Amino acid sequence: MKSLFKPITINKLEVPNRIAMAPMTRMMSPDGIPGDNVKDYYQRRAAGEVGLIITEGVEVSHPSSSGYPNVPGFQDKADEGWKKIIEVVQAEGSKIFPQLWHVGAMRKEGMAPDPKVPGYTPSGLVNTNKQAAHAMTADEVEMLIECFVKDILKIKDLGFDGVELHGAHGYLIDNFFWEGTNQRDDTYGGEINKRTKFACEIIKRARKEIGRDFPVAIRFSQWKQQDYEAKLAHTPDELEKFLMPLVDAGVDVFHASNRRYWEPEFEGSDLNLAGWTKKISGLPTITVGSVGLKSDFIGLYAGEDAVESAPIDELVSRLDAEEFDMVAVGRALLSDPDWVKKIREERFDEIIPFESKYAQSVYY
């Protein structure tokens, strides 16, 4: 297990080991304010030796970003709660990134905080040919880019170690990435490399405010909540066209979301999505997808009997081979905050297995 516990440097930030806590929405922050319950939740995982905590999704500071109740935000009244969380996590020796989240097409009109605000999307599409949301004007695109940038600057000022943009699973940034939901005919639509522009503008403009040394991650996925079989990139060449504009914009690490980390991404290679992303981009990557579980994420909530997770030995061997650089663990850390420590000490029989009763959150 030694390779899981080697330090890694992201930008100029040293993370003590290769295990990240995957972001998991909890809906435990009334009025968007993370309280002591949230602080204690993250502190327990940091004390359990998680190297990098990526928080639950935190709403971008615009009413269209909200899709679920009691999700934390970055309004001024939440500052004190975040500062307490950052302090306790860092005191335990872990690093912490918030995940900046706009739900895009997942928002339904009538929801808080402003029932009149619809779901914002690039083209009004929730799925291919399914028109059920608001198509953003050019002015609205510009406005939301600036909202993201202001929040990233605040994230740095609060004392976080970095930031992750949620660009996966059918939310706003992913709505721009995916041709199924982006049919724009301006500079934010078109071929796959052009559909990265919304995210690239956020990153480029943020870099002017935060400098080059503050780590920026982005999470992306092929699959969507609207379509489990969706693909952003059907070939390695398409994946390269998608990734390189983001590299040029200033991304430091890619968090590549698979349903099952052990499944190959393209025919003719055993590399998963994180492996291909590292090979193409040359940047550090985080793999994720049913690590240490008996079901995949979709299978659990769809009531399917999913395949057994690949053994931890396979995960370690792939890490040894430098297919990817870090491993994000989600639900296994819900059931057992000491999962990392028990893995390090090889106390496998003491690990508390995940069951659905531990799932306070559904929306990765």
pLDDT of residue 361: 46
State the pLDDT at residue 290: 67
CB distance 306 to 293 below 8 Å? no
Average pLDDT over residues 114-122: 93
Whole-number pLDDT of residue 311: 66
Give residue 132's pLDDT: 80
190 Cβ neighbours under 8 A, 6+ residues apart: 184
- pLDDT exceeds cutoff 70 at 359: no
| Burial of residue 348, with CB atoms counted within 10 A of its CB: 0-12 exposed, 13-18 middle, 19 or more buried | exposed
Does residue 171 carry a catalytic annotation?
Answer: yes
State yes or no: pLDDT of 305 exceeds 60.
no
**Of the candidate ranges 85-89, 218-222, 344-348, 357-361, the one whose mean pLDDT is the lowest:** 357-361
Structure token digits, residue 238: 């398409």
Class of CATH domain 2-358:
alpha beta
Q: What percent of the chain has pLDDT over 70?
A: 91
Q: Has residue 68 got a pLDDT over 60? A: yes
For residues 136-148, give the mean pLDDT: 98
| Angle 106-109-112 from CA coordinates, rounded to 5° | 90
For 213-266, the pLDDT digits (tens) are: 999 999 999 999 888 889 999 999 999 999 999 999 999 999 999 877 888 899
Residue 97's closest CA among 109, 85, 105, 106?
A: 85
For residues 89-105, give the mean pLDDT: 97
Amino acid at 26: R
The more confident residue out of 113 and 300 is: 113
Between CA 85 and CA 96 the distance in angstroms is: 9
**pLDDT-derived band at 362, boundaries 50, 70, 90:** very low
In terms of Cα–Cα distance, which of 199, 227, 224 is closest to 100? Answer: 199
Q: Of the listed 41, 171, 188, 261, which one is catalytic?
A: 171
Of 84-88, 230-234, 353-357, the least confident: 353-357
Please report the pLDDT score of residue 303 as a whole number. 45
Residue 298 is predicted with a pLDDT of 45
Please, which pLDDT band fits residue 302 given cuts at 50, 70 and 90? Answer: very low
pLDDT at 227: 86
Return the pLDDT at 129. Answer: 80
Each domain of the chain, given as residue ranges in start order, spans 2-358
Q: Which of 363, 169, 357 is nearest to 257 (CA)?
A: 169
Average pLDDT over residues 337-341: 94
The pLDDT value recorded for residue 112 is 84
Average pLDDT of the residues of the chain? 91
pLDDT of residue 214: 98
pLDDT surpassing 60 at residue 307: no
> Left if phi > 0, otherwise alpha if psi is -120 to 50, otherwise beta: which for 133?
beta
Task: Choose from 99-113, 191-205, 311-325 the range with maximum mean pLDDT.
Answer: 191-205
Q: Does the pLDDT of residue 364 top 70, yes or no?
A: no
